[in-house]
Amino acid sequence: MAPAADADVEVKSISPFGQARSTVEGTPLSKEELKLTDDYMRASLYLCLGMIYLKQNPLLKEPLKVEHLKARLLGHWGSDAGQVFAYVHFNRLIKKYDIDGLFISGPGHGAPAVISQSYLEGVYSEVYPDKSEDEEGLQRFFKQFSFPGGIGSHATPETPGSLHEGGELGYSVSHAFGTVFDHPNLIALTMVGDGESETGPLATSWHGTKFLNPITDGAVLPVLHLNGYKINNPTILARVSHDELKALFIGYGWTPYFVEGSDPESMHQAFAATLEKAVLEIREYQKKARESGKAFRPRWPMIVLRSPKGWTGPRKVDGRYLEGYWRSHQVPIPDVASNPDSLKVLEEWMKSYTPDKYFGADGKLIPELKALAPEGTKRLSAAPVANGGLIKKPLQLNDFRSYALDVKKGGVNEGPSMANMAKFLRDVIEKNPTNFRLFGPDETESNKLGEVYKASKKVWLGEYFEEDADGGNLAFEGRVMEMLSEHTVEGWLEGYILSGRHGLLNSYEPFIHIIDSMVNQHCKWIEKALEVEWRAKIASLNILLTATVWRQDHNGFTHQDPGFLDVVANKSPEVVRIYLPPDANCLLSVTDHCLRSSNYVNVIVADKQNHLQYLDMEAAIEHCTKGAGIWDWASNDQGEEPDIVMAACGDVPTMESLAATALLREYLPDLKIRFVNVVDLFRLIPHGEHPHGMTDREFTAIFTDDKPVIFNFHSYPWLIHRLTYKRKGQHNLHVRGYKEKGNIDTPLELAIRNQTDRFSLAIDALDRMPNLGNRGSSAREKLLNEQIKCKNEAFTEGIDPKALREWVWPF
**Window 143-162: residues binding a second copy (CB under 8 A):** 146-154, 156
Is 643 within 8 Å of 672 (Cβ atoms)? yes
Integer CA distances (angstroms), 548 to 291, 658, 697, in order = 46, 19, 33
Residue 805: CB minimum distance to a second copy, A: 15
Annotate 197-240 with DSSP letters as a single string.
Answer: GGSHHHHHHGGGGGG--TTTS-EEEEEEEE--B-SSSB-SGGGS
Residues 309 and 82: their CA atoms lie apart, in Å, by 8
* Chosen residue from 138, 221, 245, 405 binding a second copy by CB under 8 A: 245
Task: Using the minimum distance from each CB to a second copy, give the nearer residue, 44 or 715.
Answer: 715
Tell me which of 406, 718, 785, 788 binds a second copy, using CB under 8 A. Answer: 718
Q: Is 3 in the site for a second copy (CB under 8 A)?
A: yes
Nearest to a second copy of 400, 508 (CB atom)? 508
The span from the CA of 735 to the CA of 755, in Å, is: 10
Cβ–Cβ < 8 Å for 207, 462: no
Q: Which is nearer to a second copy, 399 or 470 (CB)?
A: 470
100-105 β-sheet, strand order: 21-22, 255-260, 301-306, 219-226, 186-193, 100-105
Residues 289-308 that bind a second copy (CB under 8 A): 294
Subset of residues 447 to 476 that bind a second copy, contact rule: CB under 8 A: 458, 460, 462-472, 474-476
Interacting span for a second copy (CB under 8 A) from 44-52, 181-189, 236-244, 266-274: 236-244
Q: What is the per-residue binding string for a second copy in 426-445, x denoting contact by CB under 8 A? A: ----------------xxxx
Q: Candidates 60, 203, 391, 397: give the one binding a second copy (CB under 8 A).
A: 203
Site for a second copy in 744-803 (CB under 8 A): 744-746, 749, 794-795, 797-799
Q: Does 195 bind a second copy (CB under 8 A)?
A: yes
CB of 799 vs a second copy, minimal distance in Å: 5
Q: Restricting to residues 642-681, name those near a second copy by CB under 8 A.
A: none
The yes or no reply on residue 241 touching a second copy (CB under 8 A) is yes
Across 557-577, b (16+ Cβ under 10 Å) vs e yields: eebbbbbbbebbbebebebbb
Q: What angle do CA 376, 176, 34 make, to 5 degrees?
A: 55
The length of the chain in residues reads: 811
Q: What is the smallest separation between the CB atom of 711 and a second copy, expressed in angstroms?
A: 13
Which listed residue (130, 318, 641, 740) binds a second copy by CB under 8 A? Answer: 740
Q: Which helix (H) or strand (E) holds 546?
A: strand 541-546
Longest dimension (CA), the chain: 100
Residue 808: Cβ within 10 Å count: 9
**201 vs 500, which CB is nearer to a second copy?**
201
* Exposure of 118 in the CB half-sphere (CA atoms within 13 A): 26
- In the region spanning residues 675 to 714, those forming contacts with a second copy, defined by CB under 8 A, are none
Closer to a second copy at the Cβ: 606 or 794? 794
Tell whether residue 231 is a contact of a second copy (CB under 8 A). Answer: yes
* Interacting positions 379-408 with a second copy (CB under 8 A): none
Of positions 63, 251, 334, 394, contacts a second copy by CB under 8 A: 251
Q: Binding of a second copy at residue 239 (CB under 8 A)?
A: yes
Q: Which of 8, 533, 640, 806 binds a second copy (CB under 8 A)?
A: 8
2 forms part of the interface with a second copy (CB under 8 A): yes
Alpha-carbon distance of 303 to 422, in angstroms, equals 41
Strands (E), 337-412: none
Contact 586, 616 (CB under 8 A): no
Minimum CB separation from a second copy for residue 720, in Å? 9
Identify the residue among 625, 638, 743, 785 touching a second copy (CB under 8 A).
743
Amino acid identity of residue 19, one-letter, is Q
Are the CB atoms for 553 and 747 separated by under 8 Å?
Answer: yes
Q: Provide the minimum distance between the beta carbon of 525 and a second copy in the complex, in angstroms, as a whole number.
A: 8
Q: Are 611 and 651 in contact (CB under 8 A)?
A: yes
Q: Does 524 bind a second copy (CB under 8 A)?
A: yes
806 touches a second copy by CB under 8 A: no
Type of residue at 262: S
Q: Total number of residues binding a second copy (CB under 8 A)?
A: 143
**Interacting residues with a second copy between 46 and 105 (CB under 8 A):** 55, 70-72, 74
Nearest residue to 271 (alpha-carbon basis) of 460, 88, 100, 498: 88
Q: Is residue 141 a contact point for a second copy (CB under 8 A)?
A: no
Among 126, 198, 265, 335, binds a second copy (CB under 8 A): 198
Q: Which member of 287, 554, 596, 789 binds a second copy (CB under 8 A)?
A: 554
Question: Helical H runs in 54-191?
Answer: 80-97, 111-121, 123-127, 135-144, 172-180
Considering only the stretches 205-213, 347-355, 392-400, 584-592, report the one whose residues sit in contact with a second copy under the rule CB under 8 A. 205-213
Whether the CB-CB separation of 103 and 189 falls below 8 Å is answered with yes
